Structure 1
Amino acid sequence: MKPRFLIIGQGLAGTALAWRLHQRGRRFLIVDRDVAQTSSKVAAGLVTPITGMRLNLSWRYGTLYPEALAFYQEIETLLHQRFYHEVPIVRLLRDEKAAALWEKRRLQPEVQPYLANPSPGPLVDEIFFANPHGGFQQQHSGWLDTAAFLAASREHFQNLGAWQAGEVVPESLGIEASGVVWQGETFEAAVFCTGWEAALHPWFDWVPFRSARGTVLSLKAETGNEPRIINRGCWLLPRADGSLRAGPTYELDFADSETPAPEALAGLDKKLRALLKQDFTVTSSQTGVRPIIRGHEALIGRHPGRPQIAFMNGLGSKGVLRAPWVARQLAEHLVDGSPVEAGLDLSGNV
């Protein structure tokens, strides 16, 4: 029997890779530090076609979204749980400049399939939401309950004997011609899916990380039982229990992964008060660090100097959308030797 793959880290990246290997009947062991608050567990899991200040269609959305939807639905069927929720996302425009840009952008053919037609009118209930500059409703959008997805995946893999709590440090790995040895067992390859902390790893300190700390709040607020996700400067995500999640902050300079800067929280509070006409109460907050790699939507592949070591990272704030497709590319590379395309290839970015 062939040696297993050693997957280090069970965030969205490690979990997606494990499922892709599982679908191919390949053996693996996930080793995870089992930390309560990580970027993947904190993430809102939004899947949005039209994003950013420039109102552009998200990178390869027409390819990534159908694959992501099929991926999560297949796992839901297997585990008899629901994780992905298809929900319209309403984008309210910030100012007159954004409204003028949207007048041009909305006419582009690539954008049309993702717009609700006809657009609801009024777009939002202005008793609860401020909407001075208009906006639009998106379809083929939604959110993944990332915490539930990760927990259910962990339980499934644990029952298969393919998950254990622990930490893999460089000194504990033996690099041999046949693969990697860890705790006396030989693995075909060790795949690091450790998020932003890979920047601190001596094998990956050359990767151009520019990760960002982010905080998501839980709120109580009156929104007229609005079921959709509302975005204007920040997003509001309604939960089944009547609460709301709201965020995020975006901090490029940070000393730790868990303590948001007061000014970042103040900025989010200001955005929420500009969006919500009713007062709100913050009930809790969660903070994590998004793994972002400058100039790349993700990086995957084998280490250029140590082919027994592999890497999947840099999914950023769009990890839910990108992870299934990126993980399939990496699984094909590891199992079949398929080449990784240039923009995603770790070994081509030394």
Structure 2
Amino acid sequence: MNSRFLIIGQGLAGTALAWRLHQRGVAFCVVDRDEERTSSKVAAGLVTPITGMRLNLNWRYGELYPEALAFYQGLEVRLHQRFYHEVPIVRLLRDEKAAALWEKRRLQPEVQPYLRPLQTPLVDPAFFANPHGGFEQRHSGWLDSAAFLKASRDFFQSMGAWQSGEVSPESLTLLDSGLSWNDQFFSTAIFCTGWEAALHPWFNWVPFRSARGTVLNLRADTGHERRIINRGCWLLPRPDGSLRAGPTYELDFDLPHEPSPLALAALDQKLRSLLVQDFAITGTQTGVRPIIQGHQALIGRHPGRPQVAFMNGLGSKGVLRAPWVARQLVDHLLDAAPIESGLDLAGNV
């Protein structure tokens, strides 16, 4: 195999893609701007089976979760560092309507494997308000995505396969058999640039509907709670004793790293309805989730420029989806394996 791939962007998508290529023994170079604040670094990295207002089972969870778990745990062994924390997620129901919906949903066979036996009380009433009940999920957890990205970057850099920089369309020279960048030849350049791909002249036709989100760092008394608690917003206890909470969800925004006061006020109100004790906000982190309307992700070669490929649109489910989606793309690029119609970039022109 003489292929060498240029991976542009080292968020969750680019990192998973690089590892999948490395597992296949294929050469690559990751080029990343190495910014302090990106959506992948800001993300809480939650992995939850039952999700959304409709309390549905997450898309293809039975297939994606085992692959994601094996992927991250395998890399923990290789990199001698822990990233993935398998912990229960407690979903507290928001109102009577949600409680009535759950009474029907919980009986469905597909959700049964992901429910833990209901305990009473579900949460400690001295710390959490729970007027409408809820349930506890298993086969769930969170990825310390910032630590995972840094450890991966350090590994790639140690093998001469990572560098800081920016790749613009003007800096790429497309050739019949590949392309060149910075006096280096590559068989394919793969853009994993998140929401900013919507601004790229080669991808501005992709139906992005990205959302800005803010995560808070908190100081609060939650007793001995070590599970993730979710009602209207989530609260994540970290191993060092700190707390994170979020997110906001803003579809209309100008600045990618500046949350609106209204969004922060709404999140503050949700936290006050969840937490019995008072809390203090010690910091905020904001990024933009790359969301593509009508798709769980899009991958594949550019329909007019086969030397260029694309992996994007993982949204808030990036930790869960990235290993599976990256493998699908690598199998396509190396083995000409077909891409599912709903994921195929070329099929959405």
Normalising to structure 2: TM-score of the pair?
0.99
- In 2, the alpha carbon distance for the partners of 1:241 and 1:81 equals 15
| 8 Å Cα contact 2:128-2:276 kept in structure 1 | yes
Could you tell me which residue of structure 1 aligns to residue 201 of structure 2? 202
Could you tell me which residue of structure 2 aligns to residue 110 of structure 1? 110
Q: Is 1:8 aligned with 2:3?
A: no
| 8 Å Cα contact 1:181-1:187 kept in structure 2 | yes
Could you tell me which residue of structure 2 aligns to residue 134 of structure 1? 133
| 8 Å Cα contact 1:57-1:110 kept in structure 2 | yes
- In 2, the alpha carbon distance for the partners of 1:165 and 1:337 equals 30
Q: Provide the secondary structure at the position in 2 that maps to 1:111.
A: helix
- Report matched runs for 1:70-85 at 5 Å: 70-85=70-85
- In 2, the alpha carbon distance for the partners of 1:47 and 1:84 equals 10
Q: Once the 2 structures are TM-superposed, how far is the Cα of residue 239 of structure 1 from its aligned partner?
A: 1.0
- In 2, the alpha carbon distance for the partners of 1:91 and 1:7 equals 37
Q: Once the 2 structures are TM-superposed, how far is the Cα of residue 78 of structure 1 from its aligned partner?
A: 0.4
Q: Once the 2 structures are TM-superposed, how far is the Cα of residue 213 of structure 1 from its aligned partner?
A: 0.1
Could you tell me which residue of structure 1 aligns to residue 20 of structure 2? 20
- In 1, the alpha carbon distance for the partners of 2:181 and 2:6 equals 9
Q: Provide the secondary structure at the position in 2 that maps to 1:136.
A: strand
Q: What is the letter of the counterpart of residue 11 of structure 1?
A: G
| 8 Å Cα contact 1:3-1:186 kept in structure 2 | no
| 8 Å Cα contact 2:3-2:26 kept in structure 1 | no
Could you tell me which residue of structure 2 aligns to residue 325 of structure 1? 324
Could you tell me which residue of structure 1 aligns to residue 46 of structure 2? 46
Q: Once the 2 structures are TM-superposed, how far is the Cα of residue 180 of structure 1 from its aligned partner?
A: 1.1
**Structure 2: gaps spanning 5 or more residues:** none
Q: Deviations over 1:48-80 (max 9, x none)?
A: 000000000000000000000000011001001
Q: Once the 2 structures are TM-superposed, how far is the Cα of residue 3 of structure 1 from its aligned partner?
A: 3.8
Q: Is 1:146 aligned with 2:149?
A: no
**Structure 1: gaps spanning 5 or more residues:** none
- In 2, the alpha carbon distance for the partners of 1:241 and 1:235 equals 18
Q: Once the 2 structures are TM-superposed, how far is the Cα of residue 313 of structure 1 from its aligned partner?
A: 0.1
Q: Deviations over 1:289-321 (max 9, x none)?
A: 000000000000000000100000000000000
| 8 Å Cα contact 1:87-1:229 kept in structure 2 | yes
Q: Provide the secondary structure at the position in 1 that maps to 2:174.
A: strand
Could you tell me which residue of structure 1 aligns to residue 34 of structure 2? 34
| 8 Å Cα contact 1:198-1:205 kept in structure 2 | yes
- In 2, the alpha carbon distance for the partners of 1:6 and 1:107 equals 48
Q: Deviations over 1:149-171 (max 9, x none)?
A: 00000000000000000000000
Q: What is the letter of the counterpart of residue 233 of structure 2?
A: C
Could you tell me which residue of structure 1 aligns to residue 288 of structure 2? 289
- In 2, the alpha carbon distance for the partners of 1:233 and 1:3 equals 47
- In 1, the alpha carbon distance for the partners of 2:241 and 2:163 equals 35
Size of the aligned set, in residue pairs, is 349
- In 1, the alpha carbon distance for the partners of 2:224 and 2:267 equals 22
Q: What is the letter of the counterpart of residue 66 of structure 1?
A: P
RMSD: 0.6
Any runs of at least 4 consecutive aligned residues in structure 1 with deviations exceeding 6 A, and if so which? Answer: none
Q: What is the letter of the counterpart of residue 41 of structure 2?
A: K
- In 2, the alpha carbon distance for the partners of 1:198 and 1:137 equals 37
